[in-house]
Amino acid sequence: MTTTKPRRGGRPTKQASERMAAEIVDTARRLFIDQGFAATTMEQVIEACGIGKDTLYRRFSTKEELFAAVARAASDRTIAWFETMDADSPADPLERVRHLARWFLDANLDPELLALKREAFIEAMRTRPLVQEDAFTHRLTEAIAAAHDAGEIVAPDPGFTAAQLLAAVVLGPNNDALMGSTALAAPAARAEWFDRAWALFLNGAAPPTGGGAG
Protein backbone atom coordinates (compact mmCIF):
# COMPACT_ATOMS: atom_id res chain seq x y z
CA MET A 1 0.00 0.00 0.00
CA THR A 2 1.30 3.42 -0.96
CA THR A 3 1.40 6.10 1.70
CA THR A 4 1.10 9.78 0.95
CA LYS A 5 3.06 12.43 2.78
CA PRO A 6 0.86 14.73 4.75
CA ARG A 7 0.47 18.16 3.23
CA ARG A 8 2.47 20.88 4.83
CA GLY A 9 0.69 23.42 6.94
CA GLY A 10 0.05 27.03 6.09
CA ARG A 11 3.67 28.21 6.13
CA PRO A 12 4.20 30.01 2.80
CA THR A 13 7.15 29.35 0.51
CA LYS A 14 9.95 31.90 0.34
CA GLN A 15 8.69 33.12 -3.04
CA ALA A 16 5.13 33.45 -1.77
CA SER A 17 6.37 35.32 1.31
CA GLU A 18 8.36 37.72 -0.86
CA ARG A 19 5.33 38.31 -3.10
CA MET A 20 3.20 39.03 -0.05
CA ALA A 21 5.75 41.50 1.31
CA ALA A 22 5.88 43.24 -2.07
CA GLU A 23 2.08 43.43 -2.18
CA ILE A 24 1.97 44.91 1.32
CA VAL A 25 4.60 47.51 0.41
CA ASP A 26 2.79 48.46 -2.80
CA THR A 27 -0.54 48.79 -0.99
CA ALA A 28 1.06 50.89 1.76
CA ARG A 29 2.71 53.08 -0.87
CA ARG A 30 -0.68 53.91 -2.39
CA LEU A 31 -2.18 54.66 1.01
CA PHE A 32 0.74 56.85 2.12
CA ILE A 33 0.57 58.81 -1.14
CA ASP A 34 -3.23 59.14 -1.17
CA GLN A 35 -3.82 60.11 2.46
CA GLY A 36 -0.44 60.80 4.05
CA PHE A 37 1.66 59.04 6.65
CA ALA A 38 -0.19 60.32 9.71
CA ALA A 39 -3.65 59.34 8.42
CA THR A 40 -2.62 55.86 7.30
CA THR A 41 -2.94 53.07 9.85
CA MET A 42 -1.64 49.54 9.93
CA GLU A 43 -5.27 48.39 10.17
CA GLN A 44 -6.02 50.11 6.86
CA VAL A 45 -3.10 48.29 5.24
CA ILE A 46 -4.38 44.98 6.63
CA GLU A 47 -7.88 45.64 5.31
CA ALA A 48 -6.69 46.85 1.89
CA CYS A 49 -4.47 43.77 1.47
CA GLY A 50 -7.10 41.37 2.77
CA ILE A 51 -4.62 39.71 5.13
CA GLY A 52 -4.43 38.80 8.79
CA LYS A 53 -2.82 41.00 11.40
CA ASP A 54 0.00 38.52 12.00
CA THR A 55 0.83 38.45 8.27
CA LEU A 56 1.61 42.17 8.37
CA TYR A 57 3.32 42.39 11.74
CA ARG A 58 5.62 39.42 11.06
CA ARG A 59 7.11 41.47 8.23
CA PHE A 60 6.76 45.05 9.45
CA SER A 61 6.46 45.58 13.18
CA THR A 62 5.70 49.33 13.01
CA LYS A 63 4.30 51.86 10.56
CA GLU A 64 7.71 53.56 10.46
CA GLU A 65 9.32 50.28 9.41
CA LEU A 66 6.69 49.85 6.69
CA PHE A 67 7.27 53.39 5.42
CA ALA A 68 11.02 52.72 5.31
CA ALA A 69 10.31 49.66 3.13
CA VAL A 70 8.18 51.83 0.83
CA ALA A 71 11.07 54.32 0.63
CA ARG A 72 13.55 51.56 -0.22
CA ALA A 73 11.29 50.28 -2.98
CA ALA A 74 10.96 53.80 -4.40
CA SER A 75 14.73 54.22 -4.26
CA ASP A 76 15.24 50.91 -6.05
CA ARG A 77 12.84 51.98 -8.82
CA THR A 78 14.68 55.30 -9.14
CA ILE A 79 18.02 53.51 -9.46
CA ALA A 80 16.60 51.25 -12.19
CA TRP A 81 15.20 54.33 -13.97
CA PHE A 82 18.59 56.03 -13.77
CA GLU A 83 20.46 53.01 -15.14
CA THR A 84 18.08 52.77 -18.10
CA MET A 85 18.39 56.50 -18.79
CA ASP A 86 22.17 56.51 -18.44
CA ALA A 87 22.49 53.60 -20.87
CA ASP A 88 20.95 55.88 -23.52
CA SER A 89 23.25 58.83 -22.78
CA PRO A 90 24.71 60.60 -25.84
CA ALA A 91 28.33 59.90 -26.71
CA ASP A 92 29.29 63.58 -26.79
CA PRO A 93 30.65 64.53 -23.33
CA LEU A 94 28.78 67.82 -22.94
CA GLU A 95 25.54 66.33 -24.27
CA ARG A 96 25.90 63.55 -21.70
CA VAL A 97 26.17 66.16 -18.93
CA ARG A 98 23.00 67.80 -20.25
CA HIS A 99 21.24 64.43 -20.48
CA LEU A 100 22.10 63.53 -16.88
CA ALA A 101 21.15 66.95 -15.53
CA ARG A 102 17.80 66.78 -17.33
CA TRP A 103 17.11 63.43 -15.66
CA PHE A 104 17.84 64.92 -12.22
CA LEU A 105 15.12 67.49 -12.82
CA ASP A 106 12.58 64.85 -13.88
CA ALA A 107 13.48 62.55 -10.98
CA ASN A 108 13.16 65.29 -8.38
CA LEU A 109 9.77 66.34 -9.78
CA ASP A 110 8.39 62.81 -10.13
CA PRO A 111 4.95 62.99 -8.45
CA GLU A 112 5.30 59.74 -6.50
CA LEU A 113 8.77 60.56 -5.21
CA LEU A 114 7.64 64.06 -4.28
CA ALA A 115 4.68 62.72 -2.32
CA LEU A 116 6.80 60.25 -0.38
CA LYS A 117 9.57 62.78 0.26
CA ARG A 118 6.99 65.26 1.50
CA GLU A 119 5.65 62.72 3.98
CA ALA A 120 9.17 61.88 5.14
CA PHE A 121 9.92 65.57 5.70
CA ILE A 122 6.64 66.19 7.51
CA GLU A 123 7.23 63.31 9.89
CA ALA A 124 10.97 64.10 10.16
CA MET A 125 11.65 60.43 9.68
CA ARG A 126 15.13 58.96 9.54
CA THR A 127 14.77 56.88 6.40
CA ARG A 128 16.82 56.10 3.34
CA PRO A 129 16.74 59.08 0.96
CA LEU A 130 14.20 58.57 -1.79
CA VAL A 131 16.53 59.85 -4.47
CA GLN A 132 20.04 58.66 -3.80
CA GLU A 133 21.97 61.79 -4.78
CA ASP A 134 25.37 60.28 -3.93
CA ALA A 135 24.54 57.20 -6.01
CA PHE A 136 24.05 59.36 -9.11
CA THR A 137 26.08 62.55 -8.76
CA HIS A 138 29.39 60.75 -9.13
CA ARG A 139 28.40 59.91 -12.71
CA LEU A 140 27.42 63.50 -13.37
CA THR A 141 30.79 64.55 -11.91
CA GLU A 142 32.57 62.06 -14.19
CA ALA A 143 30.61 63.36 -17.19
CA ILE A 144 31.58 66.94 -16.35
CA ALA A 145 35.24 65.92 -16.04
CA ALA A 146 35.03 64.25 -19.47
CA ALA A 147 33.47 67.39 -20.98
CA HIS A 148 36.25 69.45 -19.38
CA ASP A 149 38.91 67.13 -20.81
CA ALA A 150 37.27 67.41 -24.24
CA GLY A 151 37.49 71.20 -24.05
CA GLU A 152 33.72 71.69 -24.10
CA ILE A 153 33.48 73.38 -20.70
CA VAL A 154 35.88 74.81 -18.14
CA ALA A 155 35.50 72.76 -14.97
CA PRO A 156 38.78 72.30 -13.09
CA ASP A 157 36.77 71.09 -10.07
CA PRO A 158 34.15 68.73 -11.53
CA GLY A 159 32.54 67.97 -8.15
CA PHE A 160 31.96 71.64 -7.40
CA THR A 161 30.66 72.19 -10.93
CA ALA A 162 28.23 69.26 -10.58
CA ALA A 163 26.89 70.70 -7.33
CA GLN A 164 26.35 74.12 -8.94
CA LEU A 165 24.63 72.59 -11.96
CA LEU A 166 22.22 70.65 -9.78
CA ALA A 167 21.56 73.74 -7.67
CA ALA A 168 20.77 75.72 -10.82
CA VAL A 169 18.57 73.07 -12.42
CA VAL A 170 16.94 71.13 -9.57
CA LEU A 171 16.97 72.89 -6.20
CA GLY A 172 14.39 75.62 -6.80
CA PRO A 173 11.85 73.49 -8.69
CA ASN A 174 12.18 70.65 -6.18
CA ASN A 175 11.60 72.92 -3.18
CA ASP A 176 8.65 74.62 -4.90
CA ALA A 177 7.10 71.27 -5.77
CA LEU A 178 7.51 70.01 -2.21
CA MET A 179 5.58 73.08 -1.09
CA GLY A 180 2.77 72.21 -3.49
CA SER A 181 3.62 74.12 -6.66
CA THR A 182 2.58 72.46 -9.93
CA ALA A 183 4.21 75.05 -12.19
CA LEU A 184 6.58 72.46 -13.70
CA ALA A 185 4.29 69.44 -13.54
CA ALA A 186 3.80 69.44 -17.32
CA PRO A 187 6.72 68.07 -19.38
CA ALA A 188 6.67 71.10 -21.69
CA ALA A 189 7.00 73.53 -18.77
CA ARG A 190 9.80 71.44 -17.31
CA ALA A 191 11.64 71.35 -20.65
CA GLU A 192 11.40 75.14 -20.98
CA TRP A 193 12.68 75.64 -17.43
CA PHE A 194 15.56 73.25 -17.99
CA ASP A 195 16.64 74.89 -21.26
CA ARG A 196 16.76 78.30 -19.57
CA ALA A 197 18.67 76.98 -16.54
CA TRP A 198 21.07 75.03 -18.79
CA ALA A 199 21.79 78.11 -20.92
CA LEU A 200 22.54 80.15 -17.80
CA PHE A 201 24.79 77.41 -16.47
CA LEU A 202 26.78 77.27 -19.71
CA ASN A 203 26.94 80.99 -20.50
CA GLY A 204 26.70 82.70 -17.11
CA ALA A 205 25.14 86.07 -16.48
CA ALA A 206 28.14 88.28 -17.17
CA PRO A 207 28.20 90.22 -20.46
CA PRO A 208 30.54 88.87 -23.13
CA THR A 209 34.03 90.34 -22.97
CA GLY A 210 35.83 91.91 -25.91
CA GLY A 211 34.43 94.13 -28.59
CA GLY A 212 32.63 96.52 -26.23
CA ALA A 213 29.30 98.12 -26.94
CA GLY A 214 28.45 98.81 -30.52
Please give the pLDDT value at position 3: 36
Lowest mean pLDDT among 2-6, 44-48, 205-209: 2-6
Tens digits of residue pLDDT in 52-90:
999 999 999 999 999 999 999 999 999 999 999 999 999
Structural domain boundaries enclosing 186: 76-203
**How many distinct structural domains can be found in the chain?**
2
User: Which pLDDT band, with edges at 50, 70 and 90, does 126 fall under?
Assistant: very low
* Percent of the chain with pLDDT strictly greater than 70: 86
- Burial class of residue 178 in the structure, from the number of CB atoms within 10 Å of its CB (0-12 exposed, 13-18 middle, 19+ buried): middle
Domain CATH code at residue 22? 1.10.10.60
Q: Are both 101 and 191 inside the same structural domain?
A: yes
Half-sphere exposure of 78 (CA within 13 A, CB side): 28
Q: Are both 132 and 187 inside the same structural domain?
A: yes
Lowest mean pLDDT among 54-63, 81-90, 161-170, 200-209: 200-209
Q: Are both 145 and 191 inside the same structural domain?
A: yes
Distance CA 214, CA 206 (A): 17
Please give the pLDDT value at position 7: 36
The average pLDDT across 181-198 equals 96
Residue 98 lies in a domain: yes
Q: Are both 173 and 120 inside the same structural domain?
A: yes
Residue 4 has pLDDT above 90, yes or no: no
Residue 192 lies in a domain: yes
Residue 214 has pLDDT above 60, yes or no: no
Q: Are both 139 and 192 inside the same structural domain?
A: yes
Nearest by Cα to 101 from 202, 184, 207: 202
Q: Are both 156 and 190 inside the same structural domain?
A: yes
Residue 187 lies in a domain: yes
